[in-house]
Amino acid sequence: MTGNPHQLLGAYLLGGLDDGDRAAFEAHLGRCPVCREDLAGLDTLPMLLDALPAADALALAPAPGDTPGPAGVAAGTAEQVPAGPSPAGEAAGHLPESLPLLHELARRRRTLRRRWAALAGAAAAAALAVGLAAGPLLVRPPQPDATYSVQSGGGLRFSIDMARKTWGTELAVNGSSLPSDGTLSLWVRDRDGGEDRACAWTATPSGRVKVTGATPIQLGSISSVELRDGAHHPVAVITVP
């Protein structure tokens, strides 16, 4: 490390030192309470400079011959900037070679923008891939464990989807040409002769129905399912093998 180490604080803060100079300056920090105090007061400067447009940063740069401040940060006013490239050219990254720290700042900002753009693109692609893979699973209805149906010569159709549950069995009923008045009910009989009413509903004028019922009888213990009218007469019977 050559020169006054106090004048290298700005370059160190912006990451403008090579590995050797950085190590030497960090060793100097361990011995110099003044530099440590200055560094603590400027620890947010890189974030502020990263948020500053390049044209505005150039306006803060010193003219040739100006004396840098005690911490190595450029001092001066916009009127002291010498004539040079237009702000548009400077914003595009064509900074004067006499401003190495601002040149390094612009390079860092371009690198960060490219990295963030690449990460955002990769994240979007991953999210799309997961969405496409999970889409069919999300819209696929649950599959029943067993399905039974019965129909009669009068056009009656009656089917039941049975789903095994920890508490018993869920039954999804789908019927057409059923009795159009009164009350209908679904009864489940187990293999020991006991029975349980899974659900009941008021008949519809169209004779169609879609309802879901439940019974504590486990699927493997069901021997039959019976549809009954309001007088408890069987309308349709499904035998479970």
- Reference 72, options 4, 2, 147, 171; nearest CA is 4
What structural domains does the chain harbor?
Answer: 5-115 (no CATH), 146-239 (2.60.40.200)
Apex CA 69: angle with CA 63 and CA 74, to 5°? 45
Burial class (CB in 10 A: 0-12, 13-18, 19+), 204: middle
Tokens representing residue 18 in the block: 């090579």
Least confident of 115-124, 152-161, 214-223: 115-124
The SS3 call for residue 195 is strand
What CA–CA distance (Å, rounded) separates 6 from 173?
A: 84
Q: What is the pLDDT of residues 91-134, one digit of tens each?
A: 444 444 444 555 566 666 667 667 767 777 776 776 666 666 65
* pLDDT band at residue 85 using 50, 70 and 90 as cut-offs: very low
Beta carbons of 23 and 5 less than 8 angstroms apart? no
What is the enclosing helix (H) or strand (E) of 196?
A: strand 195-202
Could you report the per-residue pLDDT of 166-178, keeping only the tens digit for each? 999 999 999 999 9
Q: Whole-angstrom Cα distance, residue 121 to residue 114?
A: 11
Please give the model's pTM, rounded to 2 decimal places.
0.44
> In the 8-state DSSP scheme, what is residue 120?
H
b vs e for 7-18, b when ≥16 Cβ sit within 10 Å of the residue's Cβ?
A: ebbbbbbbebbe
Q: Is the pLDDT of residue 213 over 90?
A: yes
Kindly tell me if the per-residue pLDDT of 51 is higher than 60. Answer: no
Q: CB within 8 A of 1, min separation 6: which ones?
A: 8, 20, 21, 24, 25, 28
